[in-house]
Amino acid sequence: MNRPFNMPDEFVDAFVKAGASLWRSLASASTAVDRTEAGSVMESTGRLVELQADYLRHLYALTEHALKTSAGTQAEAAVEPARGDRRFNGAEWRDNSLYSLLKQCYLLNARYCVDFVEALDLDEREKHRLRFFTRQLVEAMSPTNFVATNPDAIKIATETEGQSLKAGLDNLIADLSKGNLTITDEHAFEVGKDVATSRGAVVFENDLFQLIQYEPATEQVAARPLLIVPPCINKFYILDLQPANSFVRFAVEHGLTVFMVSWRNPDASCGHLGWDDYVAHGAMRAIEVARSISGADKINVVGWCVGGTILSSALALLRTRGDESVASVTLLTTMLDFREPGDLGVFVDEESVLLREQTIGRGGIYRGAELGFVFQTLRSKELIWPNVVNHYLKGKPPERFDLLFWNADVTNLPGPMYCWYIRNMYLENNLREANRLTMCDTPVDLGRVDLPAYVLATMEDHIVPWRSAYRTTGLLSGDIRFVLGASGHIAGVINPASKNKRSYWVSANREEDPAAWLAGAEEKPGSWWNDWIAWLAPWTEDKLAARTQLGSNLYPPGEAAPGRYVKEKAS
């Protein structure tokens, strides 16, 4: 069923289930009369009573504040936005008593809603779902999201004699017609010209991916090359946006021969592809080709997000088969143990997975636009509502931002692959159990991956919670360096060494509890890129003269990087 802005069935179903959980909890609380038989419910009811009393106290303080300010008396605000909340930065929200009262009423009610959910007696999975959708509703109801209660939008409308409102309405109609929320200027960049500009060539391709080899940037290069396996749910050029923040450029400038997997954007002809195809004909084939072209005894590999999950599966199979063609592995914000999947777990249960299996599990495409909507809801305060305000309320054109351009360049997934991944990873968490899964006719045991491993997580990751990424340290059997970077899933990874921003945490201790590891970790300033390149050095072997020709006789260079696969748009 088509819905505005590509809202997937999983989102609607999860929202309905969250409402049902709330209703059941309230019904239980209202009928609880016996503390012995319903002790936990009565305890929850007591918390709700305390919460209500606290709310009334703050409401009284807010009323007192409003009376003082209306009388011209300076008074301290009863409720203030959280640190980093920029929605109310405008002077009107502070200096105008009516807007100040409106802001504080919203913030008080928002806090009450959040605390109310926490006070309910619910299963943690149900509470997580209700917590997520409560946040969605709270953020949606901000007075900044409505023309009548947004002083900045009213000011612009007055100054432009209503033209901003007309432009905003035109923007809304255009987005509704195409079915997507515009989050950036989608015509501001051209792949291969403005982004993904590192020089190289496609040296191999099949129906699943193109393999790019990049030109060297140094006279000598490490004997062992680097192969990068990015996520197949996004385009690879997040790792090669522009020269100043290109991970590819950083690697080649440090003397590495870099190969990049560029996944195909699947169309209907790819609707039969499964997880095994991505492992065998994707990651494993790329390892084989990169090693052949380089002539090295071994190669070093990097996987990001689901690309890391695919790569780890491939490595487990290779090690089981006695293949020693990989020297080290780097996993960037990758989840192998899915017991705490974060907010994405809100959309996954047996019913929703079964529905997808029945519709696209044996053939078909999971549209990237639907997946893109889900990812936007994970960061709705940053990705949805600021664009609604600027684009619709203020009539402004979308901003020009390379990261958001990449974010909007969505990719499809083959239905069988998607369904297998969601069931076996997010729903049943099978990968962490040795030999529970069979891929490519081979039992999978991550414990056989005894390679040196660099495992990066990021503190504010909303897709791969860092505590989940940390559990990789208990699954792989090689010497592991775990590093926790600042920021989130994207900005925490794309943290150029040249800018030396943010920080990261390291510790040689290996604790079972992630919190215990963090408590003993040392914070270091700057980018983790420098730490990684130093860690990788022992596994790169001696330096060789850089080749003047890309590819090899067996795998001759073809079209110039970034190739045509990355330019294909999801239909």
How far, in Å, CA of 89 to CA of 465, rounded?
30
List CB contacts of 177: < 8 A, sequence separation 6 or more.
none
Q: Taking Cα atoms as reference points, which of 416, 452, 477, 446 lies closest to residue 535?
A: 452
How far, in Å, CA of 71 to CA of 67, rounded?
6
Which helix (H) or strand (E) is 456 found in, with range? strand 453-458
- The one-letter amino acid code at 534 reads A
Which helix (H) or strand (E) is 338 found in, with range? none
Candidate list 232, 270, 305, 419, residue with the active-site label: 305
How far, in Å, CA of 13 to CA of 16, rounded?
5
Q: Taking Cα atoms as reference points, which of 140, 87, 171 lies closest to residue 393?
A: 171
Q: Taking Cα atoms as reference points, which of 18, 45, 22 lies closest to residue 33?
A: 45
Neighbour tally for 457: CB within 10 Å = 29
Neighbour tally for 247: CB within 10 Å = 26
Q: How many angstroms separate the Cα of 293 from the Cα of each of 111, 151, 188, 308?
A: 58, 61, 36, 23
Angle between helices 151-159 and 163-178 (to 10 degrees): 110
How far, in Å, CA of 526 to CA of 133, rounded?
35
DSSP type of residue 212:
E
Specify the pairing of strand 209-214 against strand 258-263.
antiparallel
| Catalytic-residue membership of 305 | yes
- Written as six digits, the tokens of 303 are 């996987």
**Cα 134 to chain center, whole Å?**
20
Residues 114, 138: contact at Cβ < 8 Å? yes
The catalytic residues are: 305
